[in-house]
C-alpha cells in the first residue's frame, strides 16, 4: 500500500514538472533582477549566467525580418541551478567565499511573461594575507628571484581577485621564458582561507626548469623568391647569436622585424625542442618568400584631413634592392577629399568654375627603406615626394624630402615609439576668394627636425578594451617666406625668416565596462601648440598650422571647417581669421565615446566631441568651444573597422546657439571613416 501511494505521488510530481516545463517554455523572460549585489553591477552578473533577458523591442522587430537584431528569450527552469552555481563561482573568484544565492520567479499569465529574481547574500570579501612562490630554487642568483617576485602586483590587504593572481602568474612565466627558462610552467595555486580574519593566503607553485642557451639557427625557405634571399641575410635580420640566453620576447621581435621588410609572406621562429642537448636549444626560422617585384594598382581610402577620402593609385615595389633587405617604392595617386560632400559635376568644369566642394590631392613619392643602420635594428626610411592639393579656395604644391629613423624599443620600456626625423619642404601656396577680394600667394622653404615618441599599451589594436595610447611629437622648424597679399587692391609683401617650435600630443584611454569586453568607454584628449622663437606668426607655413573638424576630430563639422575666428594681422593687413589661408597656432580637442559590439563584426558608438583652434592660447574662451554629439555604426572587418558616424552641432561657437534653437537636420554631418576615431 505504501508502495502504491508513493507511485501515485511520484507520477503526479512528474506530470506537474512536465506541465510546468511546458508552460514555462512559452513565457518570455522579460527581466532578470539581482538583489543584494552591492559589489557588482547587473551587467557584470548577466554575463556569467545562462539565462538571458529578452532584448529591446526594436531589436526583436529587426530580427523578425532581417539578420540584425536579437530574438526573444524564454524562461527555462533548467538553467536556474547553472545560473546560481555560476554566480557563486564568480563571487568566489572575486574573494567572496561565503556567498549564498536563492531565486524567485514571477509569472504574468496574461502577458505570457516572466521575471527571474536572484537574491544574493554576498558576505564579506576576503583580503590577501600573504603570497608565497615555490619552484624558483633553480634560479642562479638572488637578483633574478627578487626581480620575479617584484613583478607581482597583488599585495597583502587587497581583495583577493583570481584574475589578478592569474595575471601575475602569466607575467612570471613570461619573465622566466625571457630569461632562458624555456620549460618554465605553472603547476598549481593553493588558496588557504582563514574564516576568522577573512584572509586568503596564496601559495603559487611553479616549475622553473633549467636555464637554456641558443645553439645555432636553422633556416627553412619556400615561395617564389626563396632562391633570391640568402640564409645569411635572414640570420642578420633575426640577429640572435649562439651562446646567448634563450629569450622568447626576442624571438617575437625578430618575427616582426622580418615581416617589416616586406620580403616574407609568412614567418615563424620557434625553438626546436626535440634537438635540445646539454641546456642548449637551436631555433628554427621558417619563411615563405613572395615575389621581389610588384606592381599594384589600388583603390585608396583614408581619413587624412579628418575626412573620408578615396581615389586611385599605383605602386611599384622592388624588394631586396642591392641586398640587405632594402625596399624601394615608387607610388602615385589621386584622391578626392571629403568624398561625402563632393559635387561630382566639378570633374567636368574648368578650375575657375568649380565650387568649393572640389578638393583633391595628387601624391607622388619615392621611398627607400632598410631594416638596419650601422648593424643596429633601426628602420631607416628616406623619402622624396611631391604633393599638389586643392582645398576649398586654396591651392598648394609641396616638394619635400624626409629622413626618419624608427628605433626598435624593448618590450619592457615605457616608450614603444621613438622616431626622430629630419625634413625639408618647399611650398608654393595660393589662395583666392572672389567674394571678399582677397588674393594671397606665398613660397616658403621649411627645414624641420622632430621626434615622434609614444607609449601604446592597449590590449587590441583594432578594438581596444583596456589600456591607453600616449603620443608626443615635438618639432622645431624654420620658414623662409616670400609672400604677397592683396585685399581690395591693397597690397602687402613680406620676405622674412621665422623660427618656431611646435608640439602635438594626444592621450586616449580605454576601459571595458562589461564582462564580455564588448562594451567599452573611450576617452581622448588632444592638443597642439606653436610658439615663435623669432619672426612673425604670419610666417608659419599653412601645412604646419592646426585645423579641426572631420571624421577623426569634431564630428559635427566638416573636415578643416573649424578655424580661428578672431581678427589677426596678416602681412600688415587686418583681416578675419576665416579668410586667411592657414589654421590656428593652438588646438584643444577631445572626445568621449561609448562603443558596443552587438555581434562579432557589428557594433555601434555614442560619442561627444569638443574643441576648436585659436591664434594663441591666450585667445581661448569657453564659449568658443564647438561641441558635437551623435552616434555611429561599425563594421569590424579582419583588416580594419569601417564606420559611419552621424554628428550634430550641439553648440556652435559661430552663432552661440545650441541645437535646440535651430533646425535639427541642418546641424547634421555624417562621416565615413576607416579605423576607430581614436
* C-alpha–C-alpha distance, residues 540 and 656, integer Å: 30
Per-residue burial over 657-673, b if 16 or more Cβ lie within 10 Å, else e, is eebeeeeeeebebebbb
Q: Which of 174-183, 216-225, 301-310, 633-642 has the lowest mean pLDDT?
A: 301-310
Highest mean pLDDT among 195-199, 584-588, 673-677: 584-588
Mean pLDDT calculated for residue range 491-516: 87
Predicted confidence (pLDDT) at residue 353 exceeds the cutoff of 70:
no
Output the average pLDDT for the chain.
Answer: 85
pLDDT at 371 over 80: yes
DSSP state of 277: B
Q: Is residue 266 part of a domain?
A: yes
Query: Looking at residue 206, what is its pLDDT?
Result: 93
Retrieve residue 644's grid coordinates: 559611419
The verdict on residue 516 lying in a domain is yes
Considering 207, 226, 261, which residue would you say is the last residue of a domain? 207
Q: Residue 614: is it exposed, middle or buried by C-beta count within 10 angstroms (0-12/13-18/19+)?
A: buried
Are 78 and 161 in a shared domain?
A: no
CA distances from 545 to 363, 385, 531 (A): 20, 20, 11
Mean of pLDDT values over 637-643: 83
Pairing mode, strands 327-336 and 466-487: unpaired
The confidence score (pLDDT) of residue 487 equals 67
**In total, how many domains does the chain have?**
4
Structural domain ending residue among the three candidates 186, 207, 228: 207
pLDDT computed for residue 574 by the predictor: 45
Grid cell of 549 as nine digits:
573638424
CA distances from 529 to 504, 583, 587, 649 (A): 7, 12, 6, 25
Q: Are 302 and 237 in contact (CB under 8 A)?
A: no
Residue 83, pLDDT score = 96
Task: For residue 14, tell me if it sits in a domain.
Answer: no
How confident is the model at residue 140, as a pLDDT?
Answer: 80
* Degrees, nearest 5: CA angle 633-637-643: 25
Torsion of CA 589, 592, 597, 603, to 10 degrees: -50
Question: Are residues 449 and 555 both part of a single domain?
Answer: yes
Task: Grade residue 575 by pLDDT with cuts at 50, 70 and 90.
Answer: very low
CA dist., res. 156 & res. 130, Å (int): 6
Confidence of residue 434 (pLDDT cuts 50, 70, 90): low
Query: Does 13 fall in a domain?
Result: no
Is 12 among the domain residues?
A: no
CATH assignment of the domain containing 161: 3.10.20.310
Stated length of the chain: 678
Confidence of residue 435 (pLDDT cuts 50, 70, 90): low
pLDDT bucket at 631, cuts 50 / 70 / 90: very high
Residues 497 and 466 in one domain: yes
Is the pLDDT higher at 137 or at 317? Answer: 317
Which residues are within 8 A (CB) of 196 and not within 5 positions of it... i.e. 6 or more apart? none
Q: Are residues 528 and 662 in the same domain?
A: yes
Angstrom distance (rounded) from CA 74 to CA 513: 26
| 413 & 553 share domain | yes
Residue 660 lies in a domain: yes
pLDDT of residue 355: 65
Contacts of 423 (CB under 8 A, 6+ apart): 400, 401, 402, 403, 446, 447, 448, 449, 450
Q: How many CB atoms lie within 10 A of CB 586?
A: 22
Asked if 135 and 109 sit in the same domain, the reply is no
CATH number at residue 661: 2.40.160.50
| pLDDT value of position 394 | 76
- The pLDDT assigned to 288 comes to 94
In a shared domain, residues 516 and 384? yes
pLDDT 10s digits, 219-271 = 999 999 999 999 999 998 998 999 999 999 899 989 988 988 889 989 999 99
Q: What is the pLDDT of residue 1?
A: 33
The confidence band for 193, taking pLDDT boundaries of 50, 70 and 90, is confident
Write the pLDDT tens digit of every residue in 32-51.
999 999 999 888 899 899 99
Least confident interval from 56-70, 421-435, 655-669: 56-70
117 and 257 assigned to the same domain: no
Q: What is the pLDDT of residues 612-622, one digit of tens each?
A: 999 888 889 99
- Residues 90, 197, single domain; the answer is no
pTM above the 0.75 mark? no
Q: How confident is residue 105, by pLDDT bands cut at 50, 70 and 90? A: very high
Query: What mean pLDDT is predicted for residues 619-634?
Result: 93
Q: What is the pLDDT of residue 32?
A: 95
Boundary of a domain, candidates 259, 289, 319: 289
Spatial neighbors of 652 by CB under 8 A, at least 6 apart, are 626, 662, 667
pLDDT at 341: 76
Instruction: Provide the grid cell at 572.
Output: 600688415
- Statement: residue 566 has pLDDT above 80: no
Domain that holds residue 186: 127-207
Residues 338, 280 share a domain:
no
On whether both 587 and 518 belong to a single domain, the answer is yes
Give the pLDDT score at 18. Answer: 39
Region 436-450 average pLDDT: 82
Q: Give strand pairing partners of 636.
A: 641
* Residues 374 and 476 grouped into a single domain: yes
> DSSP code of 138?
T
Q: Residue 25's pLDDT is what?
A: 62
Residue ranges of E strands in 165-212: 185-194, 199-207
Domain for residue 3, yes or no? no
pLDDT at 670: 85
18 in a structural domain:
no
Axis crossing angle, helix 248-260 with helix 162-177, rounded to the nearest 10: 80
Mean pLDDT of 379-396: 88
Amino acid at each position: 500500500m505504501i508502495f502504491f501511494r508513493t507511485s501515485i505521488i511520484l507520477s503526479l510530481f512528474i506530470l506537474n514538472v512536465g506541465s510546468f516545463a511546458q508552460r514555462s517554455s512559452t513565457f518570455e523572460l522579460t527581466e532578470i533582477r539581482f538583489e543584494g549585489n552591492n559589489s557588482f553591477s547587473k551587467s557584470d552578473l548577466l554575463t556569467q549566467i545562462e539565462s538571458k533577458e529578452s532584448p529591446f523591442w526594436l531589436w526583436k522587430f529587426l530580427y523578425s525580418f532581417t539578420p540584425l537584431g536579437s530574438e526573444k528569450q524564454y524562461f527555462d527552469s533548467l538553467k536556474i541551478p547553472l545560473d546560481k552555481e555560476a554566480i557563486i563561482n564568480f563571487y568566489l573568484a572575486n574573494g567572496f567565499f561565503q556567498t549564498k544565492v536563492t531565486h524567485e520567479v514571477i509569472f504574468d499569465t496574461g502577458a505570457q511573461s516572466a521575471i527571474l529574481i536572484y537574491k544574493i547574500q554576498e558576505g564579506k570579501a576576503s583580503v590577501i594575507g600573504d603570497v608565497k612562490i615555490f619552484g624558483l630554487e633553480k634560479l642562479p642568483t638572488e637578483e633574478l628571484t627578487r626581480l620575479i617576485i617584484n613583478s607581482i602586483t597583488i599585495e597583502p590587504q587587497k581583495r583577493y581577485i583570481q584574475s589578478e593572481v592569474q595575471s601575475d602568474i602569466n607575467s612570471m612565466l613570461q619573465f622566466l621564458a625571457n630569461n632562458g627558462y624555456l620549460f618554465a610552467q605553472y603547476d598549481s595555486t593553493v588558496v588557504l582561507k582563514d574564516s576568522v580574519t577573512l584572509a586568503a593566503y596564496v601559495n603559487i607553485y611553479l616549475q622553473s626548469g633549467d636555464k637554456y642557451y641558443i645553439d645555432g639557427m636553422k633556416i627553412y625557405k619556400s615561395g617564389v623568391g626563396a632562391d633570391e634571399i640568402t640564409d645569411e641575410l635572414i640570420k642578420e635580420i633575426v640577429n640572435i647569436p649562439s651562446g646567448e640566453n634563450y629569450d622568447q620576447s626576442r624571438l617575437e621581435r625578430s618575427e616582426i622585424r622580418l615581416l617589416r621588410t616586406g620580403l616574407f609572406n609568412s614567418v615563424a621562429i620557434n625553438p626546436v625542442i626535440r634537438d635540445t642537448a646539454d641546456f642548449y636549444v637551436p631555433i628554427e626560422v621558417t619563411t615563405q618568400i613572395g615575389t621581389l617585384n610588384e606592381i599594384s594598382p589600388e583603390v585608396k581610402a583614408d581619413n587624412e584631413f579628418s575626412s573620408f577620402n578615396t581615389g586611385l593609385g599605383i605602386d611599384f615595389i622592388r624588394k631586396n634592392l642591392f641586398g640587405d633587405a632594402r625596399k624601394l617604392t615608387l607610388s602615385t595617386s589621386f584622391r578626392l577629399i571629403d568624398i561625402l560632400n563632393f559635387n561630382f559635376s566639378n570633374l567636368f568644369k574648368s578650375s575657375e568654375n568649380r565650387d568649393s566642394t572640389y578638393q583633391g590631392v595628387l601624391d607622388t613619392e619615392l621611398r627607400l627603406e632598410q631594416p638596419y643602420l650601422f648593424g643596429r635594428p633601426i628602420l631607416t626610411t628616406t623619402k622624396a615626394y611631391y604633393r599638389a592639393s586643392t582645398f576649398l579656395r586654396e591651392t598648394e604644391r609641396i616638394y619635400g624630402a624626409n629622413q626618419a629613423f624608427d628605433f626598435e624599443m624593448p618590450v619592457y620600456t615605457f616608450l614603444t615609439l621613438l622616431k626622430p626625423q629630419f625634413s625639408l619642404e618647399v611650398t608654393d601656396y595660393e589662395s583666392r576668394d572672389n567674394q571678399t577680394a582677397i588674393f594671397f600667394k606665398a613660397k616658403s622653404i621649411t627645414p624641420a627636425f622632430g621626434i615622434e615618441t609614444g607609449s601604446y599599451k592597449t590590449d587590441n589594436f583594432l578594438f581596444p578594451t583596456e589600456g591607453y595610447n600616449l603620443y608626443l611629437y615635438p618639432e622645431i622648424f624654420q620658414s623662409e617666406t616670400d609672400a604677397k597679399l592683396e585685399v581690395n587692391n591693397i597690397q602687402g609683401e613680406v620676405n622674412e625668416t621665422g623660427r618656431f617650435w611646435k608640439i602635438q600630443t594626444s592621450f586616449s584611454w580605454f576601459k571595458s565596462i562589461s564582462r564580455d569586453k564588448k562594451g567599452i568607454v573611450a576617452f581622448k584628449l588632444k592638443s597642439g601648440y606653436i610658439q615663435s622663437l623669432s619672426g612673425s606668426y604670419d610666417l608659419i607655413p599653412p601645412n604646419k598650422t592646426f585645423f579641426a573638424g572631420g571624421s577623426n576630430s569634431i564630428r559635427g563639422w566638416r573636415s578643416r571647417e573649424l578655424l580661428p575666428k578672431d581678427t589677426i594681422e596678416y602681412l600688415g593687413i587686418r583681416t578675419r581669421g576665416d579668410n586667411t589661408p592657414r589654421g590656428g597656432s593652438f588646438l584643444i580637442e577631445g572626445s568621449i565615446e561609448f562603443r558596443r559590439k552587438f555581434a562579432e563584426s557589428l557594433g555601434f558608438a555614442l560619442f561627444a566631441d569638443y574643441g576648436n583652434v585659436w591664434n594663441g592660447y591666450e585667445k581661448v574662451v569657453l564659449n568658443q568651444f564647438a561641441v558635437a554629439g551623435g552616434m555611429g555604426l561599425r563594421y569590424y572587418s579582419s583588416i580594419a573597422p569601417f564606420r559611419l558616424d552621424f554628428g550634430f552641432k550641439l553648440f556652435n561657437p559661430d552663432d552661440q546657439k545650441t541645437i535646440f534653437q535651430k533646425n535639427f537636420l541642418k546641424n547634421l554631418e555624417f562621416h565615413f571613416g576607416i579605423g576607430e576615431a581614436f
